[in-house]
Every structure is written in C-alpha cells, then in structure tokens.
C-alpha cells in the first residue's frame, strides 16, 4: 500500500473492504454519531491516522481506528454475530475504477470458493490482487477474488458465493486466506445517489398501500437468507419486490419461466455491453398459479421447479425416485405442492436431487408424487404416480457459453471453442468402455483467421460415486499428452486441424461411477498461440483470454447396456448404408 502518512497518495484510489458482523479489538480513536456510511468513510479518509473503522447501520455510529486488522495489521479481528455491525479496512488501489459505494469488496475472512478459478497470479500483494481484479473485470467480468496471505497467491473467479453457494466454504486447511466479493461488478451503479448521498441501490420493495419504499444494496440471493425480508413478507405482504439486474447483450431469451420475471424478453451474454433494467421479482412474494389438476415443471437456469396440482386439499410428498431421504417435499392439506432442485448441485458428487444427463445439458428426473394419506410419506402404493421430467438446456448453454474475446483490429465477436468426443464424426456422450474415439477441439465463428487457441491442460475426474474420490487424472499438460497417459489411454499425438486440434482417446472410467468429466483450460490468442508463459502474453497484449471448457461422458461397461448400445450403433450404420443404396450381404 502506498501512503502519505496513513493516507493514499494521489496516484491511488482510497477504498475499503467490508466485513459484516466483525469488529477489531482496538479502541476507537474518534467516534461520530448520526452519520451515514459514506460520511463515515469520508471522515476516515480525511483523518490522516485512520486505517480502519467500525460502522453500525442501526445506530448510525461511526468509530475511527488507527490500526489495520490482522493479517494486514496488529489488531485482532473479532466476530460479533451482529448483522448491523461491520468492520471496514482502508486500502489504496491502483485503479481508475469508480463506484458510488465507499467499499469495493465484501470481505469474508477465512473463506474460499472451491474449484472456480479463472486465473491464478503469484507473488503479488493484496492491494495488487484487488486492483488486478478491477482492471481485468472490464474485460472478463470477474465477480470475486481470493487471496492467500502466506503464499501471496491471487485467485480470480468468474463466479461468486451467490452464484455457486455450494462451493463456498470455510475449510481452509490451516491457510490464511480471505474471499472477496466484487460488489461493483456490473459497473452500472457508478452514478447512483439518494438525496445526494452515494448509494449503490440494487433492490427495492414498494407498497402502493402504505407508500413505503425499502432500499438495499444487496441482491435477492442474499435477502432470501435474511430475517428482515421474511419479516417484511409476513407483516406487509402487499409489498412488490424489484431487483436491478444486468444482463449482457448477445443472446435473446423469451421464456418467462426461466427467470420468473414479468418482462418477456431479456438479452443475455458476456461479450461487450450490459443492459441494466428493473425486474419485478415474484419469487419472494409468491407466484399465482392457474387452478388445474396435473403436474408441470419449470426449467430455470438457477433451479428446476416441479409442481403438482390437486383438485382438493391433499397430503403426501413429492420426491426423486429412490432418493426420498435427500430430495423430498412433504405437504399437508395442500392443493399445490412444489419440489425445487437447485441447478448447481447437479454437478456435485452424490447430489441430493440426482438426475440423469441423457445428452449434453439435457437432464432427466424420475419424480414420485405420493398421495396415499397414510401418514407415511416414504411409502409408495398403486395410488401414487411416477413421472419422468426432462429439461433441455442445450440451446441456452450452447449460445451463452460463447468465447468473450477482446476487440482488436477487426472487431472479432462471438467465436467459441467446442470440446467433443466423436464416433464416426458424430458427437456422443454415451460411450463404450475401451472404445477408441476421436477427441476434438474446434474453433467456431466467422472470423477464425483472426484468433488461435492453445490447449494448455486437460484433466479427467469422476462424477458421482461414494467418497473417497480419486485424484484428478491429468491428460494434457502445457500442450503435451502426459507420458503415462500416452502409453495406455491416448496413444496418438495432438494433430493440428484447419479449425482446431484432434487426437484419439481410449475410453476409461474411475471405479465407483460410470460418469467422467473432462475439463480443459484453453488459451485464446491473437492470430495464433505459442506455448509460453501466460503473463508475457498479457504484457504484449497477444494472449486475450484463458477459458475452461468441459465435457461429460457416461461409460457403458455392463453387458446388457453394452449390447443395447452396440445395437443402436449398428442400426444407425445400416440405415446410413441403405440410404446410400449400397447392397448389404450377410454371410
């Protein structure tokens, strides 16, 4: 940090990190009452000795302090379990980024986001790490960052604890590490103010009856877990809930069910320009369902909702077949019952609500609706009904998973890389154990001549199955097939094709599961890539992006399943031969 005394010099931005529910053990040097958070931050900035401050939003109490908290300083960081109290640490960042909030990052001491790294930078300080996050955010849309104090490692993430709550953990294995949310991620709240006071408003609830307006800078993902919003829901259910969302501009989606919003058209994507509008949320304050009898599903990007409607008040349960213990909804004297499956959990090992990925991004669930009224919800009788529910996300993920490439000399846009396992030139997701198939990485888009890509590394991991989980198997490292893999699984070299790379892989699986996920890290470059250090390319401005792509395979090795799959493959080949008018003679 670059200070003049305890103040940032003119080349640096003075900002703060916020730690909700925390304080430090240092006694306050100066106390102010009845002031806003922005005013408190300004007082700390003006006070040459101020390094941190506590602020209580309920009492409007501001306490300025002269020490930084651990691990940056000597004072102890203490958890108070009071949601209205927060500790703010002063930082000097090398960035021109501006945000109306007095703090740019929400800090969570000793927490991590598992398995979500976009980029890892080593041997830098915390302030350099946060500055780098803000700078890179202008191109790559980074929502969070982690910093390991002992090793000086900076990990930048596309996702956050809100998007992937199942990956947010305090299991740090003894390491000193902090997780930070980039609260000014969208960049479109820079001029927000209320009565002249800077305030990055993201959510409001308004009552036409009482003419009351509740404002907050937090998203609904957080509010759903707080007691305040539930009290508001119970006491004043006439409130309408609105959330400001920023959706990017290269993909049109017209279904009102996906996001559960009243507007019927939104633009989604990640390449250049983001639209921000207000939506009326109906998740918190209820959904009006048309009265009819039957079952329906809503396939949303965040969750899948399965609703059963009854002609009269009914008791029973809805659950995923054979998974009553982990995925069920019991109901009593209801006419509508809804089971919700959170989308991110489907990729976990042993998910609570497992489904079957019958094709890439196409999920199938076997759902039981039990209505026997015997008081034993796990009991299945002939009165109960079993449904197969399918959700097809292939078009959404195919279009929304496009490469976001920085503009340069030709305005390249909407290129993407696809990883596929091919049998006779056709992509497959169900394969035979021991079968040799083509593994192909392909660059798509109309201006492929302007960009190149390099396969940095690829790993294979087991999906599903009981613990302990086997370690990752590295297939490719630094653009080369690993020697131990080359002998048994990938005996042929990587071959450069007109639009990418290709090799052959002998199908395998891990013990305990029939599903394998292959994950590859791809470098996107101007014109073409060379396998050299990533940071050298950043300085030269040639390496544009590093992207992770994945593919999931279901391996068939049971004799009956193998026989059925072979029959399907043979039937397709016969049909193809017949269509080409070739004569077939069986001996």
Neighbours of 556 (CB within 10 A): 21
The backbone torsions φ and ψ at residue 316, rounded to the nearest 5 degrees and listed phi first, read 165, -145
Note whether 220 and 203 are within 8 A (CB).
Answer: yes
229 contact partners, CB below 8 Å, separation of at least 6: 223, 284
Minimal CA–CA distance to 424: which of 314, 580, 570, 306? 570
Note whether 180 and 17 are within 8 A (CB).
Answer: yes
- pLDDT at site 233: 47
* 265 vs 278: CA distance, rounded Å: 13
Report the CATH fold assignment for 294-395: Immunoglobulin-like (2.60.40)
* 442 vs 502: CA distance, rounded Å: 9
Omega before residue 297 within 30° of 0, cis: no
Determine which helix (DSSP H) or strand (DSSP E) holds 120, and give its type and residue range. strand 117-122
* 545 vs 526: CA distance, rounded Å: 10
For each of the chain's 587 residues, which pLDDT tens digit applies?
444 345 787 778 888 999 999 999 999 999 999 888 889 999 999 888 999 999 998 888 999 999 999 999 999 999 988 888 999 999 988 866 667 678 889 999 999 998 778 888 888 999 989 988 887 655 566 789 999 999 999 998 888 888 888 889 888 888 999 999 988 765 545 556 665 566 666 677 777 766 777 776 654 433 333 334 444 444 445 667 776 655 444 333 333 223 333 333 333 333 323 334 443 333 322 222 323 346 788 888 778 888 888 888 888 889 988 888 889 998 888 888 899 988 766 666 678 888 877 666 677 888 888 876 666 766 776 667 787 788 877 665 544 433 332 322 223 333 578 888 998 888 888 888 888 999 999 887 765 666 778 888 899 988 877 767 788 899 998 888 998 898 889 988 898 888 889 999 999 988 877 788 898 888 887 766 665 443 333 333 355 666 677 777 777 665 545 555 566 556 555 555 555 444 433 33
Q: Please list, residue by residue across 336-345, b when 16 or more beta carbons sit within 10 angstroms of its beta carbon and e when fewer do.
A: ebbbebbeeb
Minimal CA–CA distance to 276: which of 349, 222, 202, 328? 202
Indicate the DSSP class of residue 401: T
Note whether 238 and 258 are within 8 A (CB).
Answer: no
Note whether 303 and 353 are within 8 A (CB).
Answer: no
| This model's pTM is above 0.75 | no
Q: Please list, residue by residue across 79-90, b when 16 or more beta carbons sit within 10 angstroms of its beta carbon and e when fewer do.
A: eeeeeebbbbbb
- pLDDT at site 115: 78
Q: Which superfamily, per CATH, for 410-562?
A: Immunoglobulins (2.60.40.10)
Take residue 411 and report the two structure tokens written for it: 């305005």
Overall residue count recorded for the chain in this entry:
587
Note whether 179 and 129 are within 8 A (CB).
Answer: no
Report the CATH fold assignment for 3-178: Hepatocyte Growth Factor (3.50.4)
Take residue 307 and report the two structure tokens written for it: 């609703």
1 contact partners, CB below 8 Å, separation of at least 6: 8, 91, 92, 125, 127
* 418 vs 441: CA distance, rounded Å: 6
Determine which helix (DSSP H) or strand (DSSP E) holds 532, and give its type and residue range. none
Residues of the chain within CATH 2.60.40.10 domain(s) are 410-562
Neighbours of 400 (CB within 10 A): 16
Indicate the DSSP class of residue 261: B
Residues of the chain within CATH 3.50.4.10 domain(s) are 3-178
């Amino acid at each position: 940090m670059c200070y003049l005394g305890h103040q940032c010099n003119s080349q640096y931005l003075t900002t703060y990190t916020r730690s909700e529910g925390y304080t430090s053990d240092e006694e306050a040097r100066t106390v102010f009452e009845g002031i806003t958070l922005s005013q408190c931050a300004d007082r700390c900035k003006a006070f040459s000795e101020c390094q941190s401050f506590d602020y209580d939003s309920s009492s409007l109490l501001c306490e300025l302090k002269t020490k930084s908290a651990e691990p940056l300083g000597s004072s102890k960081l203490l958890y108070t379990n009071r949601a209205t109290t927060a500790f703010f640490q002063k930082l000097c960042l090398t960035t021109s980024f501006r945000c109306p909030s007095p703090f740019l990052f929400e800090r969570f001491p000793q927490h991590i986001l598992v398995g979500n790294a976009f980029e890892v930078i080593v041997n830098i300080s915390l302030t350099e790490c946060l500055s780098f996050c803000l700078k890179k955010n202008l191109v790559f849309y980074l929502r969070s960052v982690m910093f390991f104090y002992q090793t000086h490692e900076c990990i930048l993430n596309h996702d956050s604890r809100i998007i992937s709550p199942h990956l947010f953990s305090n299991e740090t294995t003894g390491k000193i590490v902090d997780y930070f949310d980039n609260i000014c991620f969208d960049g479109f709240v820079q001029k927000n103010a209320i009565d002249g006071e800077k305030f990055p408003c993201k959510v409001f609830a308004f009552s036409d009856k009482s003419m009351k307006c509740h404002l907050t800078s937090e998203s609904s993902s957080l509010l759903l877990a707080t007691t305040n919003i539930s009290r508001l829901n119970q006491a004043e259910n006439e409130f309408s809930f609105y959330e400001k969302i920023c959706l990017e501009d290269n993909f049109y989606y017209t279904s009102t069910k996906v996001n559960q919003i009243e507007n019927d058209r939104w633009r989604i994507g990640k390449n250049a320009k983001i639209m921000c509008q207000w939506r009326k949320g109906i998740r918190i304050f209820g959904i009006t369902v048309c009265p009819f009898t039957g079952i329906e599903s809503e396939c949303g990007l965040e969750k899948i909702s399965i609703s059963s409607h009854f002609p009269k008040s009914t008791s029973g349960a809805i659950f995923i077949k054979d998974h009553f213990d982990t995925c069920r909804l019991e109901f009593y004297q209801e006419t509508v019952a809804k089971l919700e499956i959170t989308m991110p959990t489907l990729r976990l090992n042993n998910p609570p609500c497992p489904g079957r990925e019958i094709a890439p991004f196409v999920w199938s669930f076997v759902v039981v609706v039990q209505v026997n009224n015997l008081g034993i919800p796990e009991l299945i009788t002939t009165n109960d009904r079993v449904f197969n529910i399918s959700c097809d996300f292939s078009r959404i993920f195919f279009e929304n998973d496009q490469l976001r490439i920085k503009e340069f000399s030709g305005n390249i846009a909407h290129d993407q890389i696809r990883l596929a396992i091919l049998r006779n030139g056709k992509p497959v997701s169900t394969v035979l154990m021991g079968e040799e198939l083509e593994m192909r990485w392909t660059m798509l888009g109309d201006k492929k001549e302007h960009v190149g890509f390099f396969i940095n590394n690829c790993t294979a991991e087991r999906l599903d199955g009981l613990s302990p989980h086997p370690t990752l198997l590295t297939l490719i490292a630094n653009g080369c097939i690993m020697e131990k893999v080359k002998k048994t699984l990938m005996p042929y070299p990587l071959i450069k094709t007109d639009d990418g790379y290709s090799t052959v892989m002998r199908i395998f699986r891990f013990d305990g599961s029939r599903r394998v996920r292959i994950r590859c890290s791809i470098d996107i470059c101007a014109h073409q890539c060379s396998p050299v250090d990533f940071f050298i390319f950043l300085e030269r401005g040639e390496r544009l992006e590093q992207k992770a792509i994945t593919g999931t395979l279901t391996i068939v090795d049971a004799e009956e399943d193998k026989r059925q799959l072979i029959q399907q493959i043979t039937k397709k080949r016969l049909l193809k031969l017949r269509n080409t008018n070739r004569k077939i003679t069986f001996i």
